[in-house]
Amino acid sequence: MRHKHNELSVAFNDSSQNAPAMHFFKAKHIIENSMVFKFLKKMPKGGALHLHALGSVSPEWIIKNITYLPGLKKCINRANAPVLTFRPNAEPHMCKFDYTDVNDERKSENAEEYDKKLAAAFNLFTPTPEKDYPTINTVWGRFVQMFYGLWDALHYLPAAKAFYWRLLEELYEDNIMYAELRVELFRLYTENGRLDREQSILQLWEVTEQFKKEHPDFMGVRLIYTVLRGSKPEELQEYYSRLKNYTTRQPDKLVGFDMVGPEDSDLRLLSFADNLIELSDKTKFFFHAGETNSYGGTDLNLVDAILLNTTRIGLGYALPKHPVLMKIVKEREIPVEVCPISNQVLHLVNDLRNHPGAILLANNIPMVISNDAPAFWGVQGLSYDYYYTIMSLASNKAGLSTLKQLVFNSIKYSALPEEEKKTAEKNLEKQWNQFIDNILKDTEFNISK
């Protein structure tokens, strides 16, 4: 133990490069050379509880693997963003021109350049975020387009299966043993038409089961169904009634419900209360709330989420401005899914030492470290978010015990059924001890070096 604390403090003192204070896009290469980061990469991380499936696989992998499948078409929509699809008769995605065949197009250009450009369209990375994203709207605009552009292509059955397998691999490679994925009420499709929603889930389930078989220490995933807060009222009505069905019929796969979209421009949760209260009989809520810099406006979603008895709070950035809600959250043990890098990239905070997660940590608010849509800022897994958590959000004096607490929180506050939770905790304990043993033996981390 002492070895790790020392190693951490060595790295803390090394913060003259000050990556903890920098924008992630500028600090990435510094972080990757940091000993603390290398340590965190090896650390078992338990569960990833706030993760949008479509933003969870690196764009490079998607380009190399999905976009080479025959039949992929592309168009450019009115926001000048590419939209990909495998549908033979794709509906126009508000496209400015007709669809082109990606493989044909690639042949007629320099393939490498073509792929690079396409990958960049699904990654927010830029070396100068302050210039390219001057406002929250510019970056959210691109963020939303990225989900939209991938949506159709990734719901093509062969693509979806490969994608989900890779998603699990990327989690696994970062020592994550379990995930709760935010997905929309999707239907997969093939050349021959659409599967129904239940079949679609079962297809992904097969992938998960196969993955678990090949990786026995992986505990699988659960799904949290999401709908866009900005949907039309009649669409919402339909989603709600579907949801009631599926949660009953697949309670081991679907664990809950959430509403998504840019909080600042959408309606408050309160406006959907009547339907949500009705849903709450059978459905656990995992609401996004308080992902905003507003104070006395959008942030009041936090009030709504708590009143609607949410099981966890997604992002919860605005929480420390509400001491009364903080108290309630602590008393009722409603964990906050804290996503440091997401909050930074999506323009809520620049220097992560100002992230409200510091206040949550200081006040012992239950929290889990999450990564939101990591692929969209070019990373996999939770290690980078843990880096900022321990280097920017936590006190200099916080070390291994803080990390362990946060990692174990991610199982404690998961939606796993009790039995599985116990197993997961046992497995995590084992992984943790193994990790400590390995670190102690590892000459790279040996402080006497």
Task: Point out which residues bind its own copies (CB under 8 A).
Answer: 18, 21, 130, 135, 293-297, 320-323, 348-351, 353-354, 356, 358-359, 362-363, 394-398
Task: Locate all alpha helices (DSSP H) within 232-317, ordered by sequence.
Answer: 233-249, 273-279, 301-307
**Smallest separation (angstroms) from its own copies to the CB of 362:** 5
**Smallest separation (angstroms) from its own copies to the CB of 393:** 8
> Which is closer to its own copies, CB of 46 or CB of 356?
356
- Comparing CA positions, the residue from 278, 282, 281, 299 lying closest to residue 290 is 299
**Smallest separation (angstroms) from its own copies to the CB of 323:** 5
> Which is closer to its own copies, CB of 181 or CB of 367?
367
Tokens linked to 311: 């099981």
Q: How far is C-alpha 65 from the chain's CA centre?
A: 21
> Residue 379: which region, alpha, beta or left (left: phi > 0; alpha: psi -120 to 50)?
beta
- The DSSP 8-state label assigned to residue 263 in this structure reads T
Please tell me the chain's helix, strand, coil percentages from 3-state DSSP, rounded to the nearest 5.
55, 15, 30
d(CA 339, CA 145): 20
> Which is closer to its own copies, CB of 252 or CB of 333?
333
> Which is closer to its own copies, CB of 190 or CB of 395?
395
Residue type, 75: C
> Which is closer to its own copies, CB of 136 or CB of 236?
136
User: Quick check: 289 and 310 in contact, CB under 8 A?
Assistant: yes
> Which is closer to its own copies, CB of 83 or CB of 360?
360
> Which is closer to its own copies, CB of 356 or CB of 381?
356
Q: What are phi and psi of 247, to 5 degrees?
A: -65, -35
β-partners of residue 176 are 46
> Which is closer to its own copies, CB of 192 or CB of 364?
364
- The DSSP 8-state label assigned to residue 272 in this structure reads G
> Residue 15: which region, alpha, beta or left (left: phi > 0; alpha: psi -120 to 50)?
alpha
d(CA 435, CA 422): 20
**Smallest separation (angstroms) from its own copies to the CB of 299:** 9
**Smallest separation (angstroms) from its own copies to the CB of 400:** 15
d(CA 342, CA 52): 12
**Smallest separation (angstroms) from its own copies to the CB of 10:** 15
**Smallest separation (angstroms) from its own copies to the CB of 136:** 8
**Smallest separation (angstroms) from its own copies to the CB of 190:** 46
User: Quick check: 152 and 87 in contact, CB under 8 A?
Assistant: yes
